[in-house]
Amino acid sequence: MVKLVPDWFAGRHLPLAMAVLSLSFVFGGVCATLLAGEIAAWSGNNWRWVMSGPAVVLGAILVFCWAILPRATTTASRRPGSAAPRRQRDSSSERSANWRGSGSSGWCAP
């Protein structure tokens, strides 16, 4: 997922997009725990409600997103089912020019 973010956002918005993506998992876990706690208090700690309640809420969110979000349009130049062309980021010569090696094995980018 992190590899796709640079294709979705311009350079100026990339740090904020990465921050939101990174923290979304943390906030999602917190929201799920709080929701399950409220369901447990409401249902008298019935584990079936605690496990199925958040799943029902997630299913409702998925249906809502499916209904609201726009669908991709197919053009005459693209065949249905074919992948969209990926944007070329930078050439290998630009990548090697931007490399700042640290004298180590060279596997980790700075």
Q: What percent of the chain clears pLDDT 70, i.e. is strictly above it? A: 66
Tell me which amino acid residue 53 is: G
Phi, psi (rounded to 5 degrees) for 35: -65, -45
Give 74-105 pLDDT, tens digit per residue.
665 555 555 555 555 554 444 444 444 444 44
Structure tokens at 99: 């490399």
pLDDT tens-place string over residues 36-53:
999 999 999 999 999 998
pTM score of the predicted model: 0.50
